[in-house]
């Protein structure tokens, strides 16, 4: 070994050793610390970057405009998960012991990571907020007290899409053929049971076609679709898969205005990458895009004007706005918890109570500057989900335009299936269902 190589090896060993002794900077005392499991690299990096930039921009806004939550400043640390379950668990373990109050609440932003954390969260007393993804049956808060699939879950999305298609088909799906083109992962499999139930109930024919991760090659899947000749295609895509589906659809000549995506396949990142192929494509949405909200203007004024913003290009995009909303729900949960436990940094356990007792009505949304960006949210022990409302938008070549009002899917069917599925989980895990006290 040459001398310089030895020197380099020694240097590596020393820096390695130092990082062991001193694991990351201590967070400022007296702040409300937020642990963020983010991802900005890999096939889903572009989606993650938009969401997490929005989230951090909102936290900055609270610090800059309001001086924190009731005077308690926010601090945060982001850990890169690469959308990989094992790395997600490592990040969670790293952040969970930061500060005496822990990471407040975790947004895993990945259905796979959510599954990995569901069993750890109760032991560590850290709530998980899964905004529009994750495990659907966790809506039953009596079995999953620590998990909050807020706003709408995948079954709301799936039945909402079916309802939307039903509306487009003038109220009859009998004999129609629908394809579910899905990302072959926990995420893509989540809607399948409810779609099967819907198919049996409404009399349409359902064919499910998986696309392996990351989904940038879909020739054979679209060949299958062409042979099957479906009336509609439901696109359950994520990251590069969604744009590829749209451009391959154009290649095989499937009309894009007969394709409906779930909300994770409905951002500018997906449609812009597909170019003109995306025109006419519908997607469900949890939140509206655009800059036409007071809170976005505030972020531009208090955060970006001061040079603290993440990336001005992302402001007002679908996922950036969703990140903003996700951060808002956490902040409001902390505020609710402060109302009960006093104006100091609250722990994960106290935040959990705050989330469960969230009640954000339209009035409060207007006060917060969100207006109609997201629907109101009211949670309880039995219902960790919320309204379940979705709204459809259509890509018109340059931007998303609303194609429907807020609407909900088959709530009765979902609730029945949620309780069945949660009951099965409780039995498998020996959990006695019940509400947690304060």
Partner 1 sequence: MFYREAGQFKTSYGADQALLPIRQDRYGMFILLAIAFIGLPLFASDYWLTAILIPFLVFSLAALGLNVLTGYAGQLSLGTAAFMAVGAVATYNFELRVPGMPVLVSFLLGGLSAAAVGILFGLPSLRIKGFYLAVATLAAQFFIPWLITKVGWFSNYSASGVITAQPIEILGAAFDTPMRKYLLVLAIVAVMALLAKNLVRSRIGRAWMAVRDMDVAAEVIGIRILRTKLTAFAVSSFYCGMAGALYAYAYLGSVEPDGFNLDLSFRILFMVIVGGVGSIMGSFLGAAFITLVPIFLEVALTEANAAFNLNLGPGVTSMSQLLVFGGLIIFFLIVEPHGLARLWQIAKEKLRLWPFPH
CB of 353 within 8 A of CB of 340? yes
Which residue spans within 237-388 are E strands per DSSP?
Answer: 259-261, 282-285, 359-360, 377-378
Closer by beta carbon to partner 1, 49 or else 390? 49
Closer by beta carbon to partner 1, 190 or else 270? 190
Per the DSSP assignment, residues forming a β-bridge with 400 are 395
Under the criterion CB under 8 A, does residue 21 sit at the interface with partner 1?
Answer: no
> Interior CA angle at 374 toward 368 and 380, to 5°?
90
**What is the torsional sign of CA 93, 58, 111, 183?**
negative
Closer by beta carbon to partner 1, 78 or else 419? 78
What contacts 31, CB < 8 A, 6 or more positions away?
68, 72, 73, 74, 75, 99, 345
Site string for partner 1, 46-75 (x = CB under 8 A): ---x--x-----------------------
Among positions 218, 287, 393, 421, the unique one binding partner 1 when judged by CB under 8 A: 421
Residue 292 CA to residue 276 CA, distance in Å, equals 25
Under the criterion CB under 8 A, does residue 22 sit at the interface with partner 1?
Answer: yes
CB of 349 within 8 A of CB of 105? no
Closer by beta carbon to partner 1, 264 or else 400? 264
* Site residues (CB under 8 A) for partner 1, limited to 319-358: none
Residue 59 CA to residue 63 CA, distance in Å, equals 6
User: Which candidate, 20, 25, 64, 46, places its Cα nearest to that of 309?
Assistant: 64
Among positions 32, 60, 111, 347, the unique one binding partner 1 when judged by CB under 8 A: 111
| Closest separation in Å from C-beta 280 to partner 1 | 31
Under the criterion CB under 8 A, does residue 122 sit at the interface with partner 1?
Answer: no
CB of 178 within 8 A of CB of 205? yes
Among positions 16, 171, 175, 253, the unique one binding partner 1 when judged by CB under 8 A: 16
| Closest separation in Å from C-beta 359 to partner 1 | 30
> For binding to partner 1 (CB under 8 A), which residues are involved?
1, 5, 8-9, 12, 15-16, 18-20, 22-25, 38-41, 45, 49, 52, 77-80, 82, 85-86, 89-90, 93-94, 96-97, 111-112, 115-116, 118-120, 123, 135-137, 184-187, 189-190, 192-193, 210, 213, 310, 421, 425, 428-429
């Amino acid at each position: 070994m040459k001398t310089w190589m030895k020197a380099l090896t020694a240097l590596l060993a020393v820096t390695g050793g130092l990082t062991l002794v001193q694991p990351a900077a201590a967070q400022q005392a007296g702040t409300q610390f937020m642990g963020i499991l983010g991802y900005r690299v890999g096939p889903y990096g572009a989606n993650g970057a938009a969401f997490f930039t929005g989230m951090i921009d909102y936290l900055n806004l609270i610090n800059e405009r309001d001086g924190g939550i009731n005077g308690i400043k926010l601090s945060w640390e982001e850990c890169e998960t690469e959308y990989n379950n094992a790395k997600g668990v490592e990040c969670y373990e790293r952040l969970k012991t930061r500060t005496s109050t822990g990471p407040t609440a975790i947004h895993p932003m990945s259905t796979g990571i959510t599954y990995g954390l569901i069993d750890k969260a109760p032991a560590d007393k850290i709530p998980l907020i899964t905004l529009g993804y994750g495990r659907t049956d966790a809506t039953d808060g009596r079995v999953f007290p620590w998990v909050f699939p807020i706003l709408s879950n995948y079954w709301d999305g799936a039945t909402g899409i079916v309802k939307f298609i039903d509306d487009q088909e003038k109220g009859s799906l009998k004999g129609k053929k629908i394809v579910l083109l899905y990302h072959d992962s926990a995420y893509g499999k989540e809607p399948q049971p409810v779609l099967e139930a819907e198919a049996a109930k409404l009399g349409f024919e359902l064919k499910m076609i998986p696309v392996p991760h990351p989904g940038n090659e879909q020739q054979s899947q679209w060949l299958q679709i062409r042979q099957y000749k479906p009336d509609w295609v439901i696109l359950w895509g994520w990251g590069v898969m969604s744009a590829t589906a749209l451009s391959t659809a154009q290649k095989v000549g499937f009309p894009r205005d007969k394709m409906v995506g779930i909300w994770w396949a409905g951002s500018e990142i997906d449609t812009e990458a597909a170019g003109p192929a995306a025109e006419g494509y519908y997607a469900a949405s949890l939140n509206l895009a655009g800059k036409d909200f007071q809170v976005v203007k505030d972020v531009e004024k208090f955060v970006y004007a001061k040079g603290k913003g993440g990336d001005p290009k992302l402001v007002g995009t679908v996922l950036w706005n969703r990140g903003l909303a996700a951060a808002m729900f956490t902040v409001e949960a902390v505020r609710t918890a402060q109302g009960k436990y006093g104006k100091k940094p609250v722990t994960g356990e106290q935040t959990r109570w705050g989330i469960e007792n969230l009640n954000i009505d339209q009035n409060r949304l207007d006060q917060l500057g969100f207006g109609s960006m997201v629907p109101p949210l009211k949670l309880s022990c039995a219902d960790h989900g919320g309204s379940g409302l979705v709204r459809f938008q259509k890509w018109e070549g340059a931007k998303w335009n609303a194609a429907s009002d807020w609407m909900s899917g088959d709530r009765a069917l979902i609730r029945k299936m949620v309780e069945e599925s949660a009951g099965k989980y409780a039995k498998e895990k020996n959990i006695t269902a019940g509400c947690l006290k304060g």
